[in-house]
Amino acid sequence: MYRAVSWSMSIGHPEIREFEAMLRQLGPDQTWDGVHFSASGNTAEAEGQPLFYFSRRTDDMLFAFSDGDWCCLKELFSAALERPGLRSMLDHLSLEYGEI
């Protein structure tokens, strides 16, 4: 099944890091209540199969993902962050933000 969404996210380093942490840490039947994002993994609505929801606090958009799509999003975002050009920029920003 083909799905598509286009969402322009103009975000800074803190939002990127929080989004990365949210994707990495959120599991079924858990919630994420971050500074920039909120999310939940809910098994009750999907006949035992996890559904994941997230939204950015500044938007009126809620995204829902099946377990498989959530895993795919996590893998794609993680791979994007490991690209050499982006990785070096994020490492530099981590120094500026005092994360390292």
Q: Per-residue pLDDT for the chain (100 aa), expressed as one digit of tens each?
A: 566 666 666 778 889 889 999 999 999 899 999 999 999 998 876 666 779 999 999 887 899 999 899 999 999 989 988 888 878 888 788 787 776 5
Instruction: Determine, yes or no, domain membership for 65.
Output: yes
Query: How far, in Å, are 12, 51, 64 from residue 69 at the CA level?
Result: 25, 9, 9
Whether residue 2 lies inside any domain: the answer is no
Q: Please tell me the distance from the alpha carbon of residue 19 to that of residue 21, in angstroms, as a whole number.
A: 5
Residue 50 neighbours by CB under 8 Å, 6+ apart: 27, 28, 29, 41, 42, 43, 66, 67, 70
**Domains in the chain: how many in total?**
1
Domain residues for 45?
Answer: 13-96
Indicate the pTM of the whole model. 0.80
43 in a domain, yes or no?
Answer: yes
- Whether residue 3 lies inside any domain: the answer is no
Alpha-carbon distance of 52 to 29, in angstroms, equals 9
Domain membership of residue 7 (yes or no) is: no
